[in-house]
Amino acid sequence: MATLAVKNLQLAPLGAGDLIDRTVRLYRRHFGALIRASVPPVVVSAAGWVLLLVCLRAMSAAASEARVVVYFLGAAAGFGVYVFGLLSQLTVMGGASRNLVMHLLWGEPVTTRLIYRSVRSRAWALFRASVVVLFWLFISTVAALGSGLMVWTMAAFAVGLLAATTQAAVVQWLALILFLLVTAASVLLILFVFFFVAGRVAYVPQVLMVEGRGVFDSISRSAGLARGNVRRLMGMFLFTGFAWCSAGILLLLPLGWFAHLNGVNPLELDATRLPAWYTVSSAALGQVSTILLAPVWIMGLSLLYVDEPPRRTERGRTRPRRFARSQPPGRTPRRKGRTVRRRSRPAPSSGSEVG
């Protein structure tokens, strides 16, 4: 079974559908190891999120200024723990990317121990890269929302002027249809801009761990590799977003039913009217869906990373030789003047379980 991935490695460019299909197949095969690896950082972020929600809820009902200050400090601490948990998730999933790429190329087994061994080998570099990636994702979100809302505002204003010119029913219906089309186009623009900007750091963990480069060198390398991947990244996002929402609904539906039977309205928007046990339970269950789906993204990105050479070869470019540094039979990449001998691995043959 260890050489199954090697024997089936198919060096053909992956479309968005193929990428999703093979990501799901790999996830199902290595479900246990990936879930065990993703649990610790998600537990940290879940604890921070629960503390943040509880303190915000208590702050709105505080009877004195001293308690408001205490709850505010608790909310700030919860937010800090939550952000630290997110960075820990990116760090652990970055370490998992090396194990996944080695599995796709050389048939290396995917285990929790190997994932955390990879994390320990470059923990500080992974953490710094996670900080940069998280900040870049924030910039991407601001740029996407700003461009989308600007276009939507101008288009909606023009549609409103059209509807105000006459009271004819045909014009009103036409204005409504145009408004819906403008809204849909704005959402697509937001997604396109986000993934066009955020996609530049999509391969940072893979380049950092597989090619052994530094943080900023990995960002530069990732930006060069990420050209032309907007459509496939959007496909992965829509798939994982739908799966995340489905998992959240499946987990929260029994809780909402139980709350309804006990006289609690689960659709209540005022958090102060909800009991503490429901707030904590819903926040914890929401993080469980993150545990289930966090590995999906890193698997998809690892497949995209391995898929870059055949895509560039198909376009007539020179095939990158970056994998020569990843895991040559008998040696690992040279770091800080040392070369560590490693047991030889069989050379990959044509075809992968990815195929």
Domain boundaries, the chain: 15-325
Q: Which residue has the tokens 């990995």?
A: 218
pLDDT one-digit tens code per residue, 223-257:
888 777 778 888 778 887 787 778 778 888 888 88
Instruction: Identify which of 14, 100, 105, 120 has the alpha carbon closest to the alpha carbon of residue 325.
Output: 105
Q: Is residue 142 predicted with pLDDT exceeding 90? A: yes
> What are the two backbone dihedrals, phi and then psi, of residue 331, each rounded to the nearest 5 degrees?
-140, 155
Rg (C-alpha) for the chain, rounded Å, is 24
pLDDT of residue 216: 86
How far is 144 from 88, CA to CA, in rounded Å?
Answer: 25
Q: Are 158 and 179 in contact (CB under 8 A)?
A: no
Q: Which residues make beta-bridge pairs with 339?
A: none
pTM, to two decimals = 0.70
Q: Which two tokens stand for residue 81?
A: 């723990």
pLDDT one-digit tens code per residue, 278-333:
878 887 787 777 777 778 878 888 887 887 654 554 444 444 444 444 444 444 44
For the CA atoms of 352, 3, 1, 28, what is the dihedral angle to 10 degrees? -30
pLDDT of residue 15: 66
Please give the average per-residue pLDDT across 135-145, as a whole number. Answer: 92
To which H or E segment does residue 41 belong? Answer: helix 31-59
Residue 11: which pLDDT band, with cuts at 50, 70 and 90? very low
